[in-house]
Amino acid sequence: MMSDSPHPVPSLTDRAALDRNRTRAEALGLVDFLHRITADEIQDRLSEVNRRFTAPAVVTGHADFWRAVLPEARIVADTPVLDLAPGAHDLVIHAMALHWAEDPVGQIAQSARALRPDGLFVAACPGGRSLHELREALTRAEAEVAGGLSPRVLPMAEIRDLGGLLPRAGLALPVADQITQTVSYQSLFHLARDLRAMGEGNALAGRLRHPTRRDVLLRAAQIYAETHPDPQDATRIRATFELVFLTGWAPDASQQQPLRPGSAKVPLAEALASMRKPR
């Protein structure tokens, strides 16, 4: 992003590293269980909408997976400037990529501009406490062993903050909800291997540019095993993934509108009193 400020905001994401991570994951065989959960959840949400979408688009960093899920959709890379034409789609899905965006509200606004009136926007991304166990273990280990800290796990937004982006992007009837998925792993190293195979390795712009010291990783694995064992098997660890889902509609005159202040036919006090009357 361009900035007129003499002190521009540093980048969060190293886009070249992110692209390399995703390409490597696709080449080795994408670990896609979070995408499969997300796809099922989105399909469930779409089934509740009394609408047949004829011009969908999907914004994603994993084109092959989502092309198989929605073969009729136009697949668009999650680049800072989205390749979406204004008013071209009745459905835009932003699939598991919003957490890496430098400007998430800009991504949603571009998606909203691509919608026809009364078109639907759906987004899904990790949020909140995703991988909080890994973050805690790495932070403690690096502080103890190396005497400092470096960016290792992508910071992810809380659901209330993500939900607040929808009206800012010009979408109506905003809804935000989330599900939590807990996964069992043999060790921190097996979790790290899965993250790399998801294309979710460390692509932070401020990350260390050399391999992490082995003693830091070993201490982190020890801390993780001690503090976050799998409740079903104490020899394993648990990892938490929170998936946030956002929905909003392109404004249209046919949608329900909030009442104008002062237009209620019955005073609130009277309505509440009548609800309390015994029958």
* Domain residue spans of the chain: 15-255
Q: Quick check: 223 pLDDT over 70? A: yes
Q: Quick check: 52 pLDDT over 70? A: yes
Quick count: other Cβ atoms within 10 Å of Cβ 169? 20
Token couple for 234: 């104490």
Q: Residue 270 has what pLDDT?
A: 59
Coil, strand or helix at 243: strand
Q: Residue 171 has what pLDDT?
A: 98
Whether residue 178 contacts residue 128, with contact meaning beta carbons closer than 8 Å, is answered with yes
Q: Residue 260 has what pLDDT?
A: 56
**For range 16-29, the mean pLDDT:** 95
Homologous superfamily, domain 15-255: Vaccinia Virus protein VP39 (3.40.50.150)
**For range 23-48, the mean pLDDT:** 96
Provide the whole-model pTM.
0.86
Q: Quick check: 43 pLDDT over 50? A: yes
C-alpha–C-alpha distance, residues 20 and 236, integer Å: 30
- Secondary structure letter of residue 98 according to DSSP: G
Instruction: Give the pLDDT confidence of 148-204 residue by residue, as tens digits.
Output: 777 788 889 999 999 999 999 999 999 999 999 999 999 999 999 999 999 999 999
Report the relative pairing of strands 89-95 and 229-230 from DSSP bridges.
unpaired
Residue 202: phi and psi, rounded to 5, are -65, 110
H-helix or E-strand spanning residue 141: helix 132-145
Q: Quick check: 46 pLDDT over 70? A: yes
